[in-house]
Structure 1
Amino acid sequence: MCTLVFAWRVFDEMPVAVAANRDEVTDRPSEAPSVWDTDPAILAPRDSSAGGTWIGYNEYGVCAAITNRWLDEPPAADRSRGLLVRGALGSETAEDAARLVERAVEADSYDGFNLVVADENAAIYLEWDGSLTVRNVDPSVHVVVNVGADGRYRIPAFRAEAGRQQAENADTLRTALQPEPGESGDAWLDRAGEFIADHEYGVCIHGDGFGTRSSSLLALSEDDREYWYADGPPCETEYERLEGQV
């Protein structure tokens, strides 16, 4: 997944709101989101190749999502990054999920990543490039792409032009998705879904053998949780509300 937008504690009725596009090679198999019979139960899509996931939430209201991180010298990797998200979703709180990721990168090696874990009490952003950077994020709208988040970017030399364009797209999208006066969480999430499908913002990707494979909208509050999923690029695929929410 290459673009992650989330509003944390911006809307009283919806502490966690997420809009995300997953970019991937077209022939990598995956399964649409479903409830996983685990403890705790989670709702997430599944990477059929490695068994992990790139986004989801659990019965405690913990959300986790990941993007790849572009690096000139990626660390050696022997474990799928999607398994980190799967592990994080086994946690009762976002703080616990962050501690799990810290332990995981000490025990195993992974390709570069940007990972967000959030619940109603905390939102934590973790960057891995061979060393781990962890920071709590403030109540606001945040945008994460392959080169970083929220104006803090590191552009790799091997993809300098694409990296600069990603950073510009992310800044433009973050500005456009600042809440409007009186806007509700539902209205903001609808608008976020429209923007990440709009090619003007450069985050719905179409390429030869690679592109935006799916898109997710998550709305999490204490009393209600919803997951809307587009099983294809959102510019041409309708979001559908998933049954069996947890």
Structure 2
Amino acid sequence: MCTLTIAWRVFDEPVVVAANRDELLARPARPPSVVETDPVVVAPRDEQAGGTWVGVTEHDLFVGVTNRWVDADLAGERSRGLLVRDALRQPSAAAARALVEEAVADHEYQGFNLVVADPEDAFLFEWDGELTVTALDPGVHVVVNVGADDTFEIPSHRADIAREQAENARAVRAELQPRDAETAVEWRDRAAAVLGDHDFGVCVHDPEGRYGTRSSSLIVLGDTVDYRWADGPPCETTHEPVDLEGQF
């Protein structure tokens, strides 16, 4: 499970993101740093496959991915994290859209939901063996493994937990609707609290200690880039600023 919330063109800062990454606890990863220089890309790194699940660029481009639970038997011949890295190399969300459309024609990936956004455009890509592209409207959007906002696909092989996740996503989106006179930073901080609140079910802990919420990202793109990172579940880990001095 993963949860990605984005407020796009809601505030003066056009892209505000709060996202949890859920993964095997033993899968090695590095915290956000500069991983590309032309353009400058700041992202964490999955040490197993070499890709990433979230990142930002000097072009004010955001890219983030969640797994997508599907019934289709997909080969997953290429890592979804490498697709995120490819998208982050693009100069705009529109260019990233073209890249993703070409990529799924050339490779088969396991199911994914991919969001790309900059100040001009925002797109949601849903891949289950076929690609669906949605241009996002200004507003708050919540993406989880079974879909986004109020459109969910419940896979038969994990129907109960999928329905629960869909209800959690609805609750998160309802809670994170913008408030009167709210700023981007205020919304980001409120979103961070929701992502760590077990009443919303998106901070995950496995009783067997194999899987769970590994990290959490808070990103504000506007006149400046503000990236905060919790290297652990946000219920018990503080989001610390990522040092971006001189990078953007």
* Common topology (TM > 0.5): yes
Structure 2 residue 220 is the aligned partner of structure 1 residue 219: yes
- For 1:43-81, what per-residue CA distance to the aligned partner results, in whole angstroms no more than 9, with x for missing partners? 100000111000001110000000000011231111000
Q: Does the alignment pair 1:198 with 2:197?
A: yes
User: How many equivalent residue pairs?
Assistant: 244
The runs of 5 or more residues in structure 2 that have no matched partner are: none
* Distance in 2 (alpha carbons) for counterparts of 1:167 and 1:30: 28
- Work out whether residues 72 and 129 of structure 2, in 8 Å CA contact, stay in contact via their aligned partners in 1: no
Partner of 1:7: 7
After the TM superposition, which residues 27-66 of structure 1 pair with which residues of structure 2 at under 5 Å, given as runs?
27-66=26-65
Contact kept? 1:195, 1:201, Cα under 8 Å: yes
Letter in 2 for 1:9: R
**Corresponding residue number in structure 1 for 2:168:** 169
* Alpha-carbon separation, structure 2, partners of 1:38 and 1:115: 23
Q: Which position in structure 1 is the counterpart of 2:181? A: 182
User: How far apart, in 2, do the equivalents of 1:74 and 1:171 lie?
Assistant: 28
2:23 is paired with a residue whose SS is strand
Q: CA deviation at 1:188?
A: 0.4
Measure how far apart 1:37 and its partner are: 3.6
**Alignment partner, residue 107 of structure 1:** 106
**One-letter code aligned to 2:105:** E
Letter in 1 for 2:104: V
- Whether contact under 8 Å (1:74, 1:112) holds in the other structure is no
Q: CA deviation at 1:39?
A: 1.1
Query: AA paired with 1:231?
Result: D
The share of aligned pairs that are identical, in percent, is 55
Measure, in 2, the Cα distance between the counterparts of 1:58 and 1:112: 25
d(CA) in 1 for partners of 2:164, 2:118: 31
Structure 1 gap segments, 5+ residues each: none
Structure 2 residue matching 1:110: 3-state secondary structure: coil
Deviations 1:143-176 (A, max 9, x none): 0000000110000011100000000000010000
TM-score by length of 2: 0.97
CA-atom RMSD in angstroms: 0.9
What does 1:138-177 correspond to in 2, within 5 Å? Answer: 138-177=137-176
| Residue aligned with 2:85, SS | helix
* Other-structure match for 1:210: 211
SS of match in other structure, 1:104: helix
1:78-113 CA distance string (max 9 Å, x none): 100000110000011001011101111111110000
Cα distance, 1:19 vs structure 2: 0.2
Residue number in structure 1 paired with 2:95: 96
> CA–CA distance in 2 between the matches of 1:22 and 1:74?
23
Distance 1:217 1:71 in 2: 28
Aligned residue type for 1:216? S
Query: How far off its partner does 1:35 sit?
Result: 1.1
Aligned equivalents of 2:35 and 2:172: distance in 1?
A: 32
